[in-house]
Structure 1
Amino acid sequence: MSQDQANPRYLLNLYISGTSPRSTAALLNIQSICDCELKGQVELLVVDIHDHPELLSEERILAIPTLIKRLPPPLRRIIGDLGDKQRLLLSLDLQPIQGGGDLPVSNSDPPSESKLIEELRQQLAELQDALQAIRSGAVDAVVAGQELDGNFLYSSITSDKPYRLIVEAMGEGAATLSPSGKILYANQQLARLLHCERESLIGRAVSDLVSASQRPQLERLGAIGAGQTTRAALELVRTDGSCVAVLASMSSLVIKEADGALLRCLITADLTQIQLAQKELTESEQSFRMLALNAQDGILILDWSSGRITLANPYISRLLGREPADLVGKQLWEIGSFLDKDRAIRMFTELQDKGYVRYEDLPLHSANGALKEVEFVSNAYLVGEQRVIQCNIRDISERRAAERRSQAYQQETLRSLQDMVAALVSLSESRDPYTAGHQARVAALAQAIAEEMGLDNHQIEGIRISALVHDIGKFSIPSEILTKPTPLKQEEQALLRTHVQAGAAVLLPIHFPWPVAEAVLHHHERLNGSGYPQGLKGEAISLEGRILGVADTIEAMATHRPYRFSKGIEAALATIEAGKGSSYDPAVVEACLRLFRQQGYQLPGLEPLRLGPAATG
């Protein structure tokens, strides 16, 4: 908006649709009239309906562009082709002034008809003008209806709305300039850059935005023909008098709807922000280079499309025994360090597809023939607008050697424990010939049950070892009780039961990787609390103890004892089935029943036992 005096004789409101062709032509034409025929006597307010849609209903706007003459009276609306200067002069009751004489104006006396009739006639004339403009295609937008909130909708005919959205979303300031250098349109970013309201920029000369010393530079920017673009640094002056350095770009285009007028588009980018971004980028690159040069991992930077190495840090050079110059420029699989070239190519293809790969089994050969075990981690990312690949290569040869030594030690320790268990079992069974092989058979069955239940290998091995020594405590029981051919007396039974605590006490100091002592202590406990030595119930009994309890019951009933003959496998299975959920864990019982009845399991070292009605007790 421009205001040349406190009390202008003409007050005009122009309603436009952004920088669409007819709106631009209308603004150029009206600006020209304001600068020539109405110079010093007019106030022009330009309203963009994209910014102020609520004014459509308030001002009864029927189509865009529309010019409303508020002063001098009567109020008049001019709709349609506002690029026709002669039509505008006639509509405003003006005649071109020759030689700068006084400005003739229309008679402002009201007509003789009543005010109501005159208003109706004027509305009818406006409707006819709008209809004619729409039919002739001389408008940019037509008011189509009304929403619930009272704001009118409009349908664009030659709307620039998509382009306007892009311009408003730009990070740079943007303005459209008339041939004389007046600002026809400015985006919000330019207003923020200059610390002013966007409306205050419309109609201003672009030369007002620069200092006097910068105007020759601005003129050189504007001295371009149609379709040309030029760039230069400028210093813009803000409303508070401060200056801001910008990188300015000027381009031009011809508007056919404005009689071929040459418009210019000005784009301004804050140089301070550009320089700050460049500084941050430079510092970031320097920081990365320092990290890469001093990293204790090998780092290779590859070109995204070709896989050629663009940077190799000192550590990777030492690791491979090759100078950086021998690596840079080569594709990853050409450096001679990968044992499997085809696999390296497949890895690069996978990296391009997924953006990330990680390998721990990718051995490399150094220049002296030494084999290096490495961890290879690679990912892709953007550096500015360029996509690159970073490969981090860590030498894990010592770690792998330590892992192998640790595994060997663990295996040797396990063998020692197994040998110790075997010795204890042999010692225990030497005192009780009737139970010779009992612990081995319990161990085999307990292992099979654990496997049927889907336990992991580590837990299964712990259950097997526990079963092998579950009766180790019988060394504390007199041999005459262990081998007595008649039923034991009550006090003898009580003494026999102490073998559980005795076995747990022997095993507890040994550092097994499993709860062996606890399993041994629990293998005579029962879910309902009827077991011994502690009378534990339910989940208080370890799973290992519950499995051993079922396996021990089956083996004991299916084999001979000094005081009785075998009761048979069918009787043993019936016993645990009857006690399922009360004495024995249901899941353990079901697994055991499946083994014998569905999979034909047999206790090792025994004659094959027949199941079903033919089985003998």
Structure 2
Amino acid sequence: LTGPTLQSGAYVVSNDFLNDPATAPWHAAAARAGVRAAAKFPIRQGGAVIGAISLYAAETGFFSTDLIATLEETAEDVSFALDNFARETARRQAAAMLDQSEQRYRSVIQSSIDGFWIMDAQGHFLDVNDAYCHLLGYEREEILKMRIQDIEASESPQETARHIGRVMTQGYDRFETRHRCKDGQLLDVEVSTNFRSGHDGECFYAFLRDITARKQADAALRAAEEQFRGLVEQSIAGTYIVQDDRLAYANRRFAEILGYASAEELIGRDPLSFAVESDRATVAENVRRRIEGEARTVSYSFTALRKDGSTTEVGVHGAAASHQGRPAVIGLIQDISEKKRAEEQIQRYIAQLERAFMRTVEVATTLSEMRDPYTAGHERRVTEIAVAIGTELGFDAQRLEGLRVAGYLHDIGKITIPAEILSKPGKLNPIEFQLIQQHAQAGYDVLKDVGFPWPVAEMVLQHHERLDGSGYPNGLKDDAIGLEARILAVADTVEAMASHRPYRPGLGIDKALAEIERGRGSAYDAAVVDACLTLFRDKAYSIPV
């Protein structure tokens, strides 16, 4: 009977259970249990059937009409009680959630670093958090006895009243003002307030942030900007900002350099219009590189066009930056006409000195060769071979120049050796050979106090040293021998073997190359030998005549 009751929502009664066809499946069980009548009454909660009250009797016809009515009323009472219990449970849950929410709200408000207050429509404080009390220096109880007009320092009471009216109309406002602290100091605050009207009255809810430090920083920034602008406007260098391919700013000095009466004449102009035609591509490329981020800063010079059509040389240093929130180039410009003319004159003097210096070196070499006419040109040829090897090894121009000077002077020490030994046609005896070996040390002694910008004296001293320690004068090994000296050693060997000597004819370039190849990595530096072999065998280099 329970199933029909749950499905229909109506009570079901069987007063002759054993003879009721609807209860046939349970007749045997009912007979054993002594059941002769049964009734089912639905139980509801929230309008839905959730169960049933089951009643059994040992007498046929037990459930009379009055009893059925009573039992139906009882089931309805149970359903009513269940609904009340559910409502009470929901109420308690809602109250607990409300209390929990209020606790969270108070926790958030009290732990906030910003001030918070609740105020009524007349300006009386209803609640404040600890942060606001700390900002003003009052106790909570003191503030709750006050009105907003008591602490507002920027507005008059009448202005505050009008402000309250506006917020009530708008429902929200955010503004900056000043509040008066307990000690009389004024506090800059930013206020964000909402107005709410409900069953508990009209209230304003506000968060307040101390912006005194920010205001002071803003004031300091404005003062710094004014100071910076004053410095820029009075600077001896031109200052400019280029944005969107136009001059967005220029100071007075920039205008003076280009012959304009005021900077206003320049604003909005294409910066390329200030460069001569031949330099415009350079200026445009340098602006593009900074705007597109290829280079952070760029320094260069170009010829500028003045207002009257004359030209002047200017130097520019600019950097990629942001102006009013968009990419720009900010930089300095200086008139370098006099500086450039002075530099050009200095370069001419330097070139003259370099020529005079090299001529002096050549004279020293010539004097040495005059004592040994049979090896005339040896220093020059060794120099050219050494410089070619240095170039193959990637030496820069400055380093090659030092190698060139050392090449010309590598045998300068032979001026201390008797001429008859230098030009002796036969084999040297041991004493004579020892004298010849002294020329490296002698060359060093001659050159050591000369203020070369390269270690020329050391190169001369070491050019007969060998990696395996078999050279002279000091038997140096490996890294103790400078790279330039290793180059001179290979160049000197190749030239000496390939050229004629008083005591023998020239052996030829092939035997000379075979000799350095044989000593590769032992007597001679491997990289230097490889560079020399590449020059002669792969690049068709030949010993200069």
| TM > 0.5 fold call | yes
1:322 aligns with 2:260: yes
* Shift, 1:563, TM fit: 1.9
Distance 2:326 2:161 in 1: 36
1:395 aligns with 2:309: no
* Shift, 1:541, TM fit: 2.7
Q: State the match for 1:222 in structure 2.
A: 164
Distance 2:297 2:452 in 1: 39
Distance 1:594 1:334 in 2: 49
* Shift, 1:487, TM fit: 0.8
For the Cα contact (< 8 Å) 1:221–1:250, is it kept in 2? no
For the Cα contact (< 8 Å) 2:272–2:283, is it kept in 1? no
For the Cα contact (< 8 Å) 1:442–1:551, is it kept in 2? yes
Aligned counterpart for 2:379 among listed residues 439, 442, 452: 439
Q: State the match for 1:367 in structure 2.
A: 307
Q: State the match for 1:450 in structure 2.
A: 390
* Shift, 1:359, TM fit: 2.9
Q: Which amino acid aligns with 1:584?
A: Y
For the Cα contact (< 8 Å) 1:312–1:328, is it kept in 2? no
* Shift, 1:551, TM fit: 1.6
Q: Which amino acid aligns with 2:412?
A: I
Please list the CA deviations of residues 91-122 of structure 1 after superposition, one character each: whole Å capped at 9, or x if unmatched. Answer: xxxxxxxxxxxxxxxxxxxxxxxxxxxxxxxx
The 5 A counterparts of 1:79-228 are: 128-129=90-91, 173=115, 175=117, 177=119, 190-195=132-137, 200=140, 204=144, 207=147, 210-211=150-151, 215-224=157-166, 225-227=168-170
Q: State the match for 2:472 in structure 1.
A: 532
Q: State the match for 2:43 in structure 1.
A: none
For the Cα contact (< 8 Å) 1:351–1:357, is it kept in 2? yes
Task: Report the TM-score when normalising by structure 1.
Answer: 0.60
* Shift, 1:323, TM fit: 1.4
Q: 1:141 to 1:364 in 2, by over 3 A?
A: farther
Q: 1:356 to 1:207 in 2, by over 3 A?
A: farther
* Shift, 1:298, TM fit: 1.3
* Shift, 1:273, TM fit: 4.8
Q: 1:306 to 1:247 in 2, by over 3 A?
A: farther
Q: Which has the higher contact order (CA 8 A, sep 6+)?
A: 1
1:380 aligns with 2:321: yes
Please list the CA deviations of residues 135-185 of structure 1 after superposition, one character each: whole Å capped at 9, or x if unmatched. Answer: xxx97989xxxxxxxxx9x9xxxx9x9xx89x9687xx5545565757688
Answer with 241-250 or 319-328: which moved more: 241-250
1:236 aligns with 2:179: yes
Answer with 390-399 or 544-553: which moved more: 390-399
For the Cα contact (< 8 Å) 2:403–2:484, is it kept in 1? yes
Q: SS where residue 584 of structure 1 aligns? A: coil
* Shift, 1:514, TM fit: 2.7
* Shift, 1:548, TM fit: 1.0
Q: Which amino acid aligns with 2:316?
A: E
Q: SS where residue 361 of structure 1 aligns? A: strand
Q: 1:131 to 1:306 in 2, by over 3 A?
A: farther
Distance 2:335 2:447 in 1: 42
Distance 1:201 1:380 in 2: 54
For the Cα contact (< 8 Å) 1:559–1:566, is it kept in 2? yes
Distance 2:413 2:224 in 1: 70
The 5 A counterparts of 1:3-42 are: none
Q: Which amino acid aligns with 1:297?
A: A
1:312 aligns with 2:251: yes
* Shift, 1:476, TM fit: 3.6
For the Cα contact (< 8 Å) 1:527–1:537, is it kept in 2? yes
Q: 1:440 to 1:298 in 2, by over 3 A?
A: same
* Shift, 1:260, TM fit: 11
Distance 2:223 2:244 in 1: 26
Q: Which amino acid aligns with 2:164?
A: G
* Shift, 1:212, TM fit: 9.7
Distance 1:141 1:487 in 2: 114
For the Cα contact (< 8 Å) 2:189–2:212, is it kept in 1? no
For the Cα contact (< 8 Å) 1:301–1:312, is it kept in 2? no
1:429 aligns with 2:369: yes
For the Cα contact (< 8 Å) 2:241–2:330, is it kept in 1? yes
For the Cα contact (< 8 Å) 1:312–1:327, is it kept in 2? no
Q: 1:423 to 1:482 in 2, by over 3 A?
A: same
Q: State the match for 1:406 in structure 2.
A: 346
Q: State the match for 1:500 in structure 2.
A: 440
Q: State the match for 1:465 in structure 2.
A: 405
Distance 1:233 1:554 in 2: 88
Please list the CA deviations of residues 170-220 of structure 1 after superposition, one character each: whole Å capped at 9, or x if unmatched. Answer: 7xx5545565757688677645422368xx499947726725996544322
Q: 1:482 to 1:351 in 2, by over 3 A?
A: closer
The 5 A counterparts of 1:578-589 are: 578-589=518-529
For the Cα contact (< 8 Å) 2:392–2:531, is it kept in 1? yes
Q: SS where residue 536 of structure 1 aligns? A: coil
Q: 1:452 to 1:370 in 2, by over 3 A?
A: closer
Q: Percent identity?
A: 32
Q: Which amino acid aligns with 2:251?
A: A
Q: SS where residue 316 of structure 2 aligns? A: strand
Distance 2:483 2:307 in 1: 56
Q: 1:235 to 1:333 in 2, by over 3 A?
A: closer
Q: 1:455 to 1:330 in 2, by over 3 A?
A: same
Aligned counterpart for 2:501 among listed residues 561, 580, 591: 561
Q: Which amino acid aligns with 1:494?
A: Q
* Shift, 1:375, TM fit: 2.3
Q: State the match for 2:70 in structure 1.
A: none
Q: 1:188 to 1:439 in 2, by over 3 A?
A: farther
For the Cα contact (< 8 Å) 1:428–1:475, is it kept in 2? yes
Q: SS where residue 466 of structure 2 aligns? A: coil
For the Cα contact (< 8 Å) 2:188–2:215, is it kept in 1? no
Q: Which has the larger radius of gyration?
A: 2
Q: Which runs of 5+ in 2 are unaligned?
A: 1-84
For the Cα contact (< 8 Å) 1:522–1:541, is it kept in 2? yes
Aligned counterpart for 2:414 among listed residues 451, 467, 474: 474
Q: Which amino acid aligns with 1:376?
A: H
Distance 1:593 1:448 in 2: 11
Q: 1:342 to 1:543 in 2, by over 3 A?
A: closer
Q: Which amino acid aligns with 1:312?
A: N
Distance 1:428 1:222 in 2: 105
* Shift, 1:223, TM fit: 1.0
1:417 aligns with 2:357: yes
* Shift, 1:290, TM fit: 2.8
Q: SS where residue 301 of structure 2 aligns? A: coil
Q: Which amino acid aligns with 2:311?
A: A
Please list the CA deviations of residues 60-88 of structure 1 after superposition, one character each: whole Å capped at 9, or x if unmatched. Answer: xxxxxxxxxxxxxxxxxxxxxxxxxxxxx
Please list the CA deviations of residues 224-279 of structure 1 after superposition, one character each: whole Å capped at 9, or x if unmatched. Answer: 244356688866354x4545354675754557xx5797653546565855663454
In the alignment of these two chains, the number of paired residues is 454
Q: 1:203 to 1:129 in 2, by over 3 A?
A: farther
Q: State the match for 1:80 in structure 2.
A: none
For the Cα contact (< 8 Å) 2:250–2:263, is it kept in 1? no
Distance 1:323 1:181 in 2: 60
Q: State the match for 2:238 in structure 1.
A: 298
Q: 1:337 to 1:545 in 2, by over 3 A?
A: closer
